[in-house]
Structure 1
């Protein structure tokens, strides 16, 4: 298994894609951290709170600042997961991979482990940018950059989140063989379909109270524990560990179904 994992890591880090994604992760983390640190440390007036502007405790503010670029991060992790298998189908290298390692289960297991490691590495890169920039701005504006240990927990969980989103991408890459279609559909769901669905569900009491919290991005936000919108229609988010199980379930189902399909399908 270790040689197979090493091979998967070598495939990824031998291309020019890895440093481009790393740079995007770092800059997105730093950029969002600076913007959110400025916005969230502004003194909120009663009128602003009543209007539903984001508010929160010092811990929630710090969490939001350091994980503000999580949407960009999870999107890039999703792309990595899709490319990790989709590029092999597109360039017809999957046959050589399965010939080199005849046990397909071992190949797919190696891809899962490699994606978790890659997601963790890029999570660290993103956090280096967000913590360095965010903590500096928070300190300059008189806010405590690390109010308690819960902030450190959120930082650690963000690494898990990015790894799980990479596994979701792996499942999508297998279930949608066309790499371009898989990328367009998955990014469209993250940036367009799910936000619109979340907005629509807020007008349905059952959907607002029981469905919204189970959506992937809602679960992600609950895991890292950022600032919440104080509106009459806002539902209480799930606890971080339940949300982690929800996101893990998405990853397990998509990656699991994709793996079973790969094990049973003919590769030409």
Structure 2
């Protein structure tokens, strides 16, 4: 198992993909933290009812995790590419010849993706915390209120799980380009629109919190901005929901890989 995991890391870090994806992750973490902190600090209007400020722990969590909306898509794409590129360039045959037990190969990919997601999460967290904490500290508020450290740690888990969702999509959709477009399109556009639709209907308000993006917001304790009254899950329930998506997608992809013919 260890050689297979080492092989997956070597495949990833010996290409330009890793730093090509790392750069937007850093930029997303820093720029979105700055944007969130600026918007929250500037939300106080003279004569209006006081709005939550940066002394609110949930607001601080939102500053540190605002860039996850982009970073999760990056990890989703990495998950798709980790297996999709092997099918596209026909290197999957050599992979299975080198490690005939396909379950071991898929297990190695899952472990590698979780570690890669955590590493990207560390970089994204460092960028968002560095920028966000600088602004929050300059405004005289504590940079690590109650729950903020847990939020930063859970963001690493979130990115790893989104990578596994991408892995499953990359296997279930044979064409790499189609897999990328469909996975990112659904996660970025279709699923949030479905969330708004469900939240606007009485019958759908109990469904909306379990959608992937809403579950992600719940895990990192980000602000629920939905104006239609949909409730938000607790962080552990959101984590379980997101884990279920990852297990189903990666499980289906592994099942298909174990049964498919490879030429």
Q: TM-score, normalised by structure 1?
A: 0.93
Contact 1:37/1:137 (<8 A) preserved = yes
Deviations along 1:124-143, one digit per CA (max 9) or x if unpaired, are 01011100000001111222
Show the 5 A alignment for 1:1-268: 1-45=1-45, 58-148=56-146, 150-208=147-205, 210-229=206-225, 231=227, 233-268=228-263
Cα drift, residue 227 of structure 1: 2.1
Contact 1:78/1:168 (<8 A) preserved = yes
RMSD over aligned CA atoms reads 1.8
Cα drift, residue 179 of structure 1: 0.3
Deviations along 1:63-120, one digit per CA (max 9) or x if unpaired, are 1111010011100000000000000000000000000001001000000000000000
Q: TM-score, normalised by structure 2?
A: 0.95
User: Alpha carbons of 1:230 and 1:24: their partners in 2 closer, same or farther (altered >3 Å)?
Assistant: closer
Contact 1:55/1:228 (<8 A) preserved = no
Cα drift, residue 198 of structure 1: 1.4
Contact 1:54/1:229 (<8 A) preserved = no
Contact 2:61/2:221 (<8 A) preserved = yes
Indicate the larger mover: 150-159 or 56-65: 56-65
User: Alpha carbons of 1:259 and 1:40: their partners in 2 closer, same or farther (altered >3 Å)?
Assistant: same
| Separation (CA, whole Å) in 2 of partners of 1:107 and 1:49 | 57
Aligned length: 263
Unaligned regions of 5+ residues in structure 1, if any? none
- The structure whose RCO (Cα within 8 Å, separation 6+) is larger is 1
